[in-house]
Amino acid sequence: MEILKTYKLYIGGQFPRTESGRSYQIQSASGQAIANACLGSKKDIRNAVQAARKAQASWAAKSAFNRSQIIYRIAEMLETRKGQFIEELVLLGHSNATAVAEVQSSIDRCIYYAGWADKYQALSSSVNPVSSPHFNFSVPEPMGVIGVVACQETALIGLISQILPLIVGGNSVVVIANTTKALCAISFAEVLATSDVPGGVVNILTGEVAEMLPTLAGHMDVNALSLAKIKDHLSRNAQEAAIDNLKRCQLYNLDYFDSKNQGLHFITDFQEIKTTWHPIEQIAGGTAGY
Amino acid sequence: MVQLKDQYELFINGQWQAPKAKKYFATINPSDESHLSNIAWATEADVDLAVKSARNAYENVWSKLSGAERGKYLFRIARLMQEKARELAVLETLDGGKPIKESRDIDIPLACNHFFYYAGWADKLQEAFAGQQIESLGVAGQITPWNFPLLMLAWKIAPALACGNTVVLKPAETTSLTALKFAEICQEAGLPAGVVNIITGYGDTGAALVVHPDVNKIAFTGSTAVGKQIQKACIGTDKKLTLELGGKSANIILEDAAIDQAVEGVINAIFYNQGHVCCAGSRLYVQESISAQVIEKLKFRLQSIYVGNPLDKNTDIGAINSKKQLETIEKYISLGREEGAEIYQPACQLPSKGYYCLPTLFTDVAQSARIAQEEIFGPVLAIQTFRTIDEVLQKANNSPYGLAAGVWTDKGARIFGLSSQLRAGVVWANTYNKFDPASPFGGYKESGFGREGGVHGLSAYLKITN
Amino acid sequence: MQPKYTPQELLVRLKSAPPIDQIGTHERISKIQSRSLKGPAKLHGLRLALSMIDLTTLEGKDTPSKVRQLCFKAQHLHGINPDLPKVAAVCVYPTMVGVAKKALENSTIKVAAVSTAFPSGQAPFEVKKLDTLYALEHGADEIDMVISRGHFLAGEYNYVFDEIAAIKALCGSARLKVIFETAELDSLDQVRRISDLAIAAGANFIKTSTGKIQPAATFPVVLTMLGAIKDHFDKTGQMIGMKPAGGISSAKIALQHLLLVKEVLGEAWLTNEWYRFGASSLANDLLMQYQKQLTGKYQSAAYFSID
């Protein structure tokens, strides 16, 4: 007799149950119950945002190189657990071949974004040639805590494609996972937990988008939203709730299997640009050099 | 000095057209409340016409031109602006109230240079986004404020055109004249009809533009409250949006600062342009060990600030832009007194006509005071002391806004330390209120999103995919 | 005026205090913590908690300017909700009492001064006396004194008693809070003993901690102290106030305190006349929770001024 796994939430680096004490069934493609997952609540969102805010500053303060190392490790851990993910995808109704392809693409995408960690800055910053005697430079900075509604069509590749560019850029995230295919999201949380990703940088909640998104979208301490394709009225309400603290909202409706749907702008979509000026002292007799 | 028409029409499709509803409104000179001209009031029908012209110009002309060709038009416009610099400066001062030396030495040159700068980008866009696919957006609807009318117009139109878009722009109702002059310049430059359309009017005109279904991009500079309404109006559309909103920027003097220069920087930060600056350093934080000294110096410096006729070259602080704005500022000054802060204003005779306000300092202000939290948009400075850098960093960031910040210290490592921790889109270290076309400008949090200026200013006007 | 006790009488009194069972105490607390406050009751609780705060700054680096800013915050907790209650008091070092008094001259907020060589209390009695007199001379409405923990742990109960009584005698109309620094005490039994002792010696309020070390106002300690207050009231009809201080960082915890008070002591203690929170960051958390109740949205610290 197997001991079926309990799929819990991932908040602050831990796996708590939902404070609401409720669960829902994840079903296989043929309608069989495969597992119980937590039905996340508003208070879970509240706790997740708290954890995300707490973790964000020190995540952003790590060296870019350090972040790249951690994200490479995610790829390595994902590789190690490939079998588990393939199995879960098959249970959810994919063919073996498709499942293998999705897991492989996911690993590749992790590696891809890991490589960006210490490079996107160079391509999105500038030293600006101002006319006055000032040194002027612009650098990207993470927006902060980002609320994510993960791709509701794919179980793994969408989730990874949405989360990675955000955390590579020093943000922390609160993710509402794919409701019906939540297995891979929580397994991915286990990968994160064993990859040196500090607790709170990624928080993953399972449950109903309709229940959790309003709280996330209205939360005054969330800086931006990344919304995959969901029902129009849910998206609309979320964008309206977001206005109170001027959250930056990005809507994505992409086929993440397409390799062109990864890139620099997915990172810079969640970066602020800060420009700094400082006077340059005009040194007398400045003919040295040329 | 300048030739003012009695009445200005709308600039649509390269021509001056009367507003459909035949309504006009007066624009006055805030320095003496005298009447300047009558401005057309565009209604929905005019907005629609303008957008149609912009769309037509985009589909049939502008999007078919090479970047190099677009660039040449922008160069031409820049050059013509330079040639008419004097006239533009005087118009700006008459219409808005800012001192002539500011419009002449700062607003107009920066506006011209902004066109020069983006002219050069027009044929190099792909290189700015190497490896990515870029496209122009189409028609951009732009709404500009009354504090830097022509400069904000340049910040909006130059990148939009460089990136291959066409434009419908609505200037602020109290300051339409330089935008209308700019329209004349577009005609003179031979800019194809419909590429730039200027529709004057009040907030309703702007609102009609924002909700127009055939606009692909909205750019707005103004208050946070209106910015939020605009964000709401864009939901469910595919319109790209950038907002440049209010601020309550912290200006921080550490005890090891070059004090006299810092004092000058503070003056510049809050009294430049009558304090009508979204990034004004309106919260001063001075380290307690030097606070008495700094405040004394500030008070002394206020004695040599001249408030008066904006057309006088010696004037430092000109007229407040409108009666409404003056009332708002006075309301906050009263509030500051009520809140128990100590007020200081230099003795100064203000003109009997026109809208004027004395430069004002409030000392002994607390973080919880409303005058330290809410944007006043006038020559009023709220001064607080702090003890440690930790404390001032927390307090500087303890705001819904995040537009700019100032840091005054002589220690290099500290400059970098502070500037990296301040949550603001622009950090001025040992300087303040400096602008340049090559320098990206914009806010964090409720000060808005998106950047204007520099290479980063291009992304607002392009669709970027992989 | 409190009755004087001979050392033997005092010992007898103290011995008659019941022993405290730690586990039982914890169980009672769990029951309180499982209560749920919602809607109007929660709003009421948040407002009540706000009105009970002694807004505190006790830093070596405090300056008059800092204290003035704190006093402003005390009077203006949250600009967009001007009809919120004011805090009960500000709590500062004696050297800052004059500044605070002046800054609060147009309000009913009290000025409490820590004294008697706060926080350690390790100083000759003469110093403690001067400390207290200085604060009183500059207008302190309340004195928060510390007990001599060393003497207490050495069993010198009379010494501790006399010290409290002597400071009380200086206070006049000012109310005296006696700080136990429970983190330095050994057991809940000791907490009960010092509570009885301080009450007998003339304390108007008994207070858990200086806030300088952890753990500070834990629930078992608070419950124990409330028990002493209740027993004293039952015997004499006299009310004594309670001030937990330190470690009350969230609105949730503050509300649990109120629930505890209501069930153990009764409604009469649910005013800032008899209950205070020694806290600094609690105020903003209460405000954030209050705003959340009003708008339905969780809040961000950037919207609440810090002081």
Give the pLDDT confidence of C99-156 residue by residue, as tens digits: 999 999 999 999 999 999 999 999 999 999 999 999 999 999 999 999 999 999 999 9
- From C289's Cα to the closest Cα of chain A, the distance in A is 12
Residue A239 has pLDDT above 60, yes or no: yes
Please spell the DSSP secondary structure of chain C, one letter per residue.
Answer: -PPP--HHHHHHHHHTSPP--HHHHHHHHHHHHT----HHHHHHHHHHHHHTEEEE---TT--HHHHHHHHHHHH-S-TT-TTSPPPSEEEE-GGGHHHHHHHTTTS--EEEEEESSTTT--S-HHHHHHHHHHHHHTT-SEEEEE--HHHHHTT-HHHHHHHHHHHHHHHTTSEEEEE--GGGS--HHHHHHHHHHHHHHT-SEEE---SSSSS-S-HHHHHHHHHHHHHHHHHH----EEE-BSS--SHHHHHHHHHHHHHHT-GGG-STTTB-EEESSHHHHHHHHHHHHHHSS---GGGS---
Residue C1 has pLDDT above 50, yes or no: no
The band of C80, judged by pLDDT with boundaries at 50, 70 and 90, is confident
Q: By C-alpha distance, which of C286, C208, C223, C213 is closest to C249? A: C286
Residue B2 has pLDDT above 90, yes or no: no
Neighbours of B, requiring at least 3 CB pairs below 8 Å, are: A, C
Structure token pair of residue C131: 């400390």
Contacting residues of A for C302, CB less than 8 Å apart: 221
pLDDT of residue A238: 98
Cβ contact C263:A11 at 8 Å:
no
pLDDT of residue C238: 96
Contacting residues of B for C68, CB less than 8 Å apart: 364, 366
- SS3 label, residue B123: coil
- SS3 label, residue A59: helix
Residue A5 has pLDDT above 80, yes or no: no
Residue A163 has pLDDT above 70, yes or no: yes
Q: Does B83 touch chain A (CB under 8 A)?
A: no
Distance separating alpha carbons of residues C5 and A236, to the nearest angstrom: 74
Q: ∠ CA(B260), CA(B263), CA(B265), 5° rounding? A: 110
Contacting residues of C for B394, CB less than 8 Å apart: 306
Interface test with A, best of B117, B249, B407, B439 (most A CBs within 10 A): B439
Residue C235 has pLDDT above 80, yes or no: yes
Distance separating alpha carbons of residues B198 and B149, to the nearest angstrom: 13
Neighbours of A, requiring at least 3 CB pairs below 8 Å, are: B, C
The nearest alpha carbon in chain C to A42 belongs to C298
* Strand partners of residue B197: B168
Q: Does B399 touch chain A (CB under 8 A)?
A: no
What's the average model confidence in pLDDT over B199-222? 98
Distance separating alpha carbons of residues B404 and B424, to the nearest angstrom: 5
Cβ contact A19:A43 at 8 Å:
yes
Lowest mean pLDDT among C80-84, C191-195, C236-240: C80-84
Give the model confidence (pLDDT) of B35-80 as tens digits: 999 999 999 999 999 999 999 999 999 999 999 999 999 999 999 9
Mean pLDDT across chain C: 93
Give the model confidence (pLDDT) of B305-314 as tens digits: 999 999 999 9
Contacting residues of B for A264, CB less than 8 Å apart: 131-132
pLDDT of residue C69: 95
- From C252's Cα to the closest Cα of chain A, the distance in A is 13
Contacting residues of C for A46, CB less than 8 Å apart: 298
Contacting residues of A for C303, CB less than 8 Å apart: 220
Interface test with B, best of C50, C76, C280 (most B CBs within 10 A): C76
Contact criterion met (CB < 8 Å) for B440 and A223: no
Q: Does A221 touch chain C (CB under 8 A)?
A: yes
Residue A288 has pLDDT above 80, yes or no: no
What's the average model confidence in pLDDT over B22-30? 97
Q: Does C65 touch chain B (CB under 8 A)?
A: yes
Q: Does C47 touch chain B (CB under 8 A)?
A: no
- From B34's Cα to the closest Cα of chain A, the distance in A is 37
Contact criterion met (CB < 8 Å) for C306 and B394: yes
Residue A2 has pLDDT above 80, yes or no: no
Contacting residues of C for B290, CB less than 8 Å apart: none
Contact criterion met (CB < 8 Å) for B366 and C76: yes
Q: Does B440 touch chain A (CB under 8 A)?
A: yes
Structure token pair of residue C233: 């009231």
Cβ contact B101:B128 at 8 Å:
no
pLDDT of residue C19: 84
Distance separating alpha carbons of residues B151 and A230, to the nearest angstrom: 41
The nearest alpha carbon in chain C to B341 belongs to C72
Interface test with A, best of B228, B268, B445, B446 (most A CBs within 10 A): B445
Backbone φ, ψ for residue B39 (5° rounding): -115, 140
Please spell the DSSP secondary structure of B247-313, one letter per residue.
Answer: ---EEEE-TTS-HHHHHHHHHHHHHGGGG--TT---EEEEEHHHHHHHHHHHHHHHTT--BS-TTST
Residues on B contacting C at a C-beta cutoff of 8 Å: 288, 291, 339-340, 364, 366-370, 372-374, 384-385, 387-388, 394-395, 397-400, 445
> For the whole model, what pTM was predicted?
0.91
pLDDT of residue C135: 98
The nearest alpha carbon in chain B to C65 belongs to B385
Give the model confidence (pLDDT) of A16-43 as tens digits: 999 999 999 999 888 888 899 999 999 9
The band of C20, judged by pLDDT with boundaries at 50, 70 and 90, is confident
Residue B440 has pLDDT above 50, yes or no: yes
Contact criterion met (CB < 8 Å) for C306 and B288: no
- From B375's Cα to the closest Cα of chain C, the distance in A is 14
Give the model confidence (pLDDT) of B146-160 as tens digits: 999 999 999 999 999
What's the average model confidence in pLDDT over C275-301? 95
Lowest mean pLDDT among B138-147, C78-87, C263-272: C78-87
Distance separating alpha carbons of residues C229 and A277, to the nearest angstrom: 62
ipTM of the complex as predicted: 0.90
The band of A6, judged by pLDDT with boundaries at 50, 70 and 90, is confident
pLDDT of residue B465: 84
The band of A4, judged by pLDDT with boundaries at 50, 70 and 90, is low
Whether B112 is catalytic: no
Distance separating alpha carbons of residues A129 and B439, to the nearest angstrom: 8
Of A215, A220, A241, the CB nearest to C299: A220
Lowest mean pLDDT among B98-112, C25-39, C84-98: C25-39
- Alpha-carbon B373 to chain mean position: 20
Contacting residues of A for B460, CB less than 8 Å apart: none
Question: How many residues can be counted in chain B?
Answer: 466
